[in-house]
Amino acid sequence: MYDVIVIGAGPAGTSAAIYTARGNLKTLVIDKAPGTGALALTHKIANYPGVEGELTGKELLDKMNRQAKSFGAEFLQTTITAVDVEDEVKRIYTAHGTFEAKAVIVATGSKGRNRMLPGEERLLGRGVSTCATCDGAFYQGKHVAVIGDTEEALEEAMALTKFAGKITFIIPRGDLQGVDEMPELPNTEVMFRTRPLEIVGEQKVEGVRIRRPNGAEELLSVDGVFIFLSGSKPGTDFLEDQVPLDEEGYMILDEYMQSAVPGVFGAGEVRKTPVKQAVVAAADGAIAAMAADKYINKRSKIVPQYK
């Protein structure tokens, strides 16, 4: 039993963990892929308060992570399969087992996309995947396409090189977010500035229609498509039917980051923030943490941490 489980290890989640752990609350932070959030993929930060000079988003997150651990917070990288947060004891079901807590802070950021490619949703699970480590083994010796514009896409393409006979890496931009230098990938053709137009197939994936930088369109015949495009849809799908969300999937929270479900809080880009900045997400995390402390200890008001 933990006092607080924080879901997400970006600036909001890690900031929350710093405050809860420092407040002597037993804290667990769970994240599927800590290195693939918006901040982790940022090349350069020069305006974070108290941090002089320039550093990468990953370097800033590493500092926050170490600080949270120094106060006793635990971190676990795993996939959440389900949650049950409606009762007093919150249960988080993961690939590493079930964890219980008195309060949960959701800080999963933006993990989806508002617009899908034609054919993507229809063929999801029938050749379209968003997890190379989950589904890569099904494509042993086959030709697959990876569509992405982030470091996560590169990592997943690297994982697929262990299985696929050929990989076509389709990158809509001129570079990959969070990647300074593109490594050599075996059996991989890399297509920069190539726009994916449609995923083609009836009962299963048969190909991807693309537009080359010169405007020419063509159909690539592939057996599978792995998609890792950045987007701005909040990563709150796992909360449906348990925590109130608005029509766009954002958590509905009050000024203390509390949801309508007692003991469930949100922070960062899971709420509709006026601006998307690491410092704003970190502030959300601090507020959510102090509100969780108030809830757990049945205080009449929030007690701020000054020292």
What confidence tens digit (pLDDT) does each residue in 203-214 have? 999 999 999 999
The CA distance from 106 to 115, in Å, is: 23
Set 84, 87, 134, 237: catalytic member: 134
Domain closes at, from 228, 257, 276? 228
Report yes or no: 30 and 5 within 8 Å, Cβ to Cβ: yes
Do 197 and 139 reside in the same domain of the chain?
yes
Which pair of structure tokens corresponds to residue 156? 């997943």
The CA distance from 18 to 66, in Å, is: 9
Is there a catalytic annotation at residue 134? Answer: yes
Q: Is 103 within a domain? A: yes
Q: Is 161 within a domain? A: yes
In CATH, what number is assigned to the domain containing residue 64?
A: 3.50.50.60
Query: Residue type at 159?
Result: A
Q: Is 123 within a domain? A: no
Set 3, 31, 135, 293: catalytic member: 135
Tens digit of each residue's pLDDT (9 = 90 or more) over 219-229: 999 999 999 88
Give the residue, 180 or 250, on which the prediction is more confident: 250
Do 89 and 133 reside in the same domain of the chain?
no
Q: Is 120 within a domain? A: no
Q: Is 117 within a domain? A: no
Do 105 and 9 reside in the same domain of the chain?
yes
Average pLDDT (44-73) is 90
Do 247 and 104 reside in the same domain of the chain?
yes
Do 249 and 205 reside in the same domain of the chain?
no
Is there a catalytic annotation at residue 87? Answer: no
Range of the structural domain that residue 81 is part of: 2-112+232-296
Tens digit of each residue's pLDDT (9 = 90 or more) over 79-131: 898 999 999 999 999 989 999 999 999 999 876 565 789 999 899 878 998 77
Count the Cβ atoms, other than its own, within 10 Å of residue 303: 12
Do 105 and 242 reside in the same domain of the chain?
yes
Is there a catalytic annotation at residue 237? Answer: no
Domain closes at, from 228, 255, 276? 228
Do 199 and 102 reside in the same domain of the chain?
no
Q: Is 204 within a domain? A: yes
Q: Is 307 within a domain? A: no
Domain count, the chain: 2
Domain closes at, from 228, 245, 260? 228
CA atoms 83, 85, 86, 88: torsion sign: positive
